[in-house]
Amino acid sequence: MAGYVSDAVIRRLPGYYRHLRELEAAGVTQISSQELGKRMQLTPSQIRQDINCFGGFGRQGYGYKVSELKGHIGEILGLDRLHRLIILGAGSIGSAVARYPTFSREGFETIAMFDVAPDKVGTRMGNIPIYPMEELENFLSGYKVDIAVLATPTHCAQENLDRLYAGGVRAVWNFAPTDLNHPADMIVVNVHLSDSLQILSYRIAHRDDG
């Protein structure tokens, strides 16, 4: 069982999982920390330190079994169980999340979407039904939801997050471009797209500063 694990290590785990999945698909069965580090632009010692946070999955001089390490990291990330999602907001961001094929393959099942637009309510996004926003509480009373994707406009994001909490949802992936107040027992991960683009802009502007 892992003890304290730093945020930096946690942020690297999906990268390990993605690269190992690609290696497995390519038929690679064994890989060393040096080879994996080269692929991920990390040092071999960093690879070993990260993986050792969760136990020893390799053997010195032998490396790691790709499928075994991928399975272990998948379990650490919680990908060995199903997560039921709902999406609030069926606009461009909510629709993109609903259509992204990798999520369902990795155990994230979107079971419903909610919106206020009359032309969207009552339709389907693929096989996902779109319900009116006022039915959210009723839906949450009948279904266990693990994660809610918040893709609504900023002005109603806090209200919707409060409704989700009251309905028993304790994990939110927030795409609304605002920081939300939430109780300590609710996990909120913010995805501010403009922030990432502005960081890229800064790096372009200062790439010659050394």
Report yes or no: 84 and 94 within 8 Å, Cβ to Cβ.
Answer: no
On whether both 126 and 182 belong to a single domain, the answer is yes
Number of folded domains in the chain? 2
Q: What is the mean pLDDT of the chain?
A: 92
Model pLDDT for residues 139-163, shown as the tens digit of each residue:
999 999 999 999 999 999 999 999 9
Choosing from 76, 99, 123, the residue where a domain stops is 76
59 pLDDT above the threshold of 70: no
What's the pLDDT score for residue 1? 45
Model pLDDT for residues 102-130, shown as the tens digit of each residue:
888 888 999 999 999 999 999 999 999 99
Model pLDDT for residues 189-208, shown as the tens digit of each residue:
999 888 888 989 998 998 87
Choosing from 53, 76, 99, the residue where a domain stops is 76
Domain that holds residue 22: 7-76
Measured at the CA of 145, the angle between CA 142 and CA 149, to 5 degrees, comes to: 130
Model pLDDT for residues 26-48, shown as the tens digit of each residue:
999 999 999 999 999 999 999 99
